[in-house]
């Protein structure tokens, strides 16, 4: 640092001497060579052929001839006390005459010492500030990470109740915390779905398995005729088909979730899907002599999951046919306003008002004694509701006993 300050003093004197020399080159009179030069307390003497031709009013440097003889050096610095120095700069030239300029400045502050003293005072303060700021930064980074670690250890397949407090600052730690909390919710939804699937399967498989077990035990208890064995096999096969249909429906309901459904979206023509499903129920409609009326049908494209859209339409049409007596009517509309509307209305047995809020629950069937000839697992409307919600849609059901049911799906 002291070297840099000494260099600065030398450069300052050199600049002033250069200005004086430029005046000499301009052939100014000897008494005008100092014109326009800011000396700032410096003392100057100008020589021509070793004779003084101009100098400042005061020139207190003694034995200046010594400096003229030291032709290999230009800058001289002398320490007067620990905080002051004197500086001498000698400039020699040959044009426009053989001459020299000596500039002398005394009592300059030794700023290096001052700066060092200041730094000695500031260093401890700066160190304390750095320690304080460092601790704050470490707390900001490490505390959320510790919370994440703590929460991770607390999470298990039986416990997804923990989430991490989201930091106030909008930074990478906040983003990491939000991502982690979202991951916890996804894991919780996945585990809940698996648990619900296990409960549903274990509950609903008891009846068909019991029937199969009973049929086979009776068939093996003693020798029987061919017709009895054939009847037992047919009964068992029927229960196996029921099990297959049940598991297929349950697996479908666990396959899609809010998190993954949009990965399975494609452009779907709703009118084409609907017409194809109506055609597939032609035999059922003819068997019951039910008239299906398409009141309004518009060509509509939507980005959706083809499988779920098909299931929504097929389950609603299937239910309408099942619960509509022979010779009655079903009315269907598909159209678009600012939203997409699918409406199906039947002249069926209807649903009591106190049951309407339950009919979309899994395995719920309205008063099976009234419908003992109608087969099903009570999953149809549950699948419809789940499919509609996965498409951010709404499901509306209105029904009157012995009048009919109207169901509207809005996307």
C-alpha torsion sign, points 228, 234, 237, 241 = negative
- What residues pair up with 156 in beta bridges, in sequence order? 159
Q: What is the pLDDT of residues 7-63, one digit of tens each?
A: 888 888 999 899 999 988 888 888 888 888 888 889 999 999 888 899 998 888 888
d(CA 209, CA 315): 25
> Worst-scoring range by mean pLDDT, 83-92, 187-196, 396-405?
187-196
Give the pLDDT of residue 77.
Answer: 86
As a whole number, mean pLDDT of residues 347-369 equals 71
The confidence band for 270, taking pLDDT boundaries of 50, 70 and 90, is very high
- In terms of average pLDDT, the best of 101-105, 200-204, 371-375 is 101-105
CA distance 235 to 14: 116
pLDDT at 376: 47
For 241, the domain range is: 172-255
Q: Are 28 and 96 found together in one domain?
A: yes
Structure confidence at residue 364 (pLDDT): 54
Sequence-distant (≥ 6) Cβ neighbours of residue 330 within 8 angstroms: 290, 291, 292, 293, 317, 320, 321, 324, 344, 345, 346, 347
Give the list of residues 6+ apart from residue 325 with CB closer than 8 angstroms, or none: 288, 347, 348, 349
Q: Are residues 271 and 406 in the same domain?
A: yes
User: Looking at residue 25, which CATH number applies to its domain?
Assistant: 3.30.450
102 belongs to a structural domain? yes
| More confident call, 197 vs 149 | 149
| pLDDT of the residue at 302 | 92
Does 164 map to a domain?
Answer: no
Do 183 and 274 lie in a common domain?
A: no
pLDDT value of position 188: 75
Q: Do 47 and 85 fall into the same domain?
A: yes
Domain boundary among 255, 287, 314: 255
| Pairwise CA distance, residues 66 & 306, whole Å | 104
Q: Which of 214-228, 291-305, 356-370 has the lowest mean pLDDT?
A: 356-370
Q: Is 148 among the domain residues?
A: no
- Looking at the structure, do residues 265 and 241 belong to the same domain, yes or no? no
Q: Are residues 202 and 250 in the same domain?
A: yes
The contacts of residue 390 (CB under 8 Å, 6+ apart) are: 256, 257, 258, 261, 305, 308
- Judge whether 302 lies within some domain: yes
What does the pLDDT average to over 105-128? 69
Which domain-ending residue is among 233, 255, 277?
255
pLDDT, residue 406, reads 94
Q: Say if residues 379 and 323 touch (Cβ distance below 8 Å).
A: no
Residue 131 lies in a domain: no
81-85, 157-161, 357-361: the lowest-pLDDT one: 157-161
My answer on whether 311 and 238 are in the same domain is no
274 and 241, same structural domain? Answer: no
- Is 240 a member of any domain? yes
Q: Answer yes or no: is 161 within a domain.
A: no
Of the ranges 13-17, 145-149, 293-297, 368-372, the best mean pLDDT one:
293-297
Predicted confidence at residue 233, as pLDDT, reads: 85
């Amino acid at each position: 640092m002291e070297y840099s300050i000494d260099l600065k003093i030398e450069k300052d004197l050199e600049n002033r001497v250069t200005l004086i020399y430029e005046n000499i080159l301009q052939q100014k009179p000897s008494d005008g060579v100092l014109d326009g030069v800011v000396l700032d307390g410096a003392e100057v003497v100008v020589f021509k052929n070793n004779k003084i031709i101009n100098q400042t009013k005061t020139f207190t440097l003694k034995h200046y001839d010594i400096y003229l003889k030291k032709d290999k050096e230009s800058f001289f610095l002398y320490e007067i006390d620990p905080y002051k120095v004197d500086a001498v700069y000698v400039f020699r030239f040959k044009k426009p005459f053989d001459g020299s300029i000596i500039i002398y400045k005394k009592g300059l502050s030794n700023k290096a010492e001052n700066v060092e003293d200041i730094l000695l005072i500031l260093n401890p303060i700066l160190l304390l500030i750095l320690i304080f700021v460092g601790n704050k930064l470490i707390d900001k980074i490490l505390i959320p990470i510790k919370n994440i670690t703590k929460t991770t250890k607390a999470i298990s397949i039986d416990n997804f109740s923990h989430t991490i407090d989201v930091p106030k600052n909008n930074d990478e730690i906040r983003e990491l915390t939000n991502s982690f909390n979202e991951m916890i919710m996804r894991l919780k939804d996945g585990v809940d779905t698996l648990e619900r699937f296990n409960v549903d399967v274990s509950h609903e498989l008891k009846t068909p398995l019991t029937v199969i077990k009973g049929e086979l035990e009776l068939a093996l208890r003693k020798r029987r005729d061919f017709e009895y064995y054939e009847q037992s096999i047919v009964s068992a096969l029927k229960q196996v088909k029921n099990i297959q249909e049940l598991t297929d429906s349950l697996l479908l309901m666990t396959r899609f979730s809010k998190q993954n459904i949009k990965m399975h979206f494609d452009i779907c023509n709703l009118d084409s899907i609907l017409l194809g499903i109506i055609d597939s129920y032609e035999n059922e409609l003819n068997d019951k002599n039910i008239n299906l009326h398409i009141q309004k049908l518009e060509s509509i494209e939507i980005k959706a999951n083809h499988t779920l859209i098909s299931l929504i339409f097929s389950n609603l049409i299937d239910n309408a046919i099942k619960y509509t007596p022979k010779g009655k009517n079903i009315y269907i509309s598909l159209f678009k306003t600012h939203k997409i509307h699918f409406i199906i209305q039947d002249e069926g047995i209807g649903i009591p008002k106190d049951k309407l809020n339950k009919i979309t629950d899994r395995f719920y069937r309205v008063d099976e004694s009234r419908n003992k000839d109608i087969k099903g697992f009570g999953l149809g409307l549950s699948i419809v509701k789940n499919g509609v919600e996965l498409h951010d849609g709404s499901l509306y059901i209105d029904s009157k006993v012995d009048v009919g049911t109207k169901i509207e799906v809005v996307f």
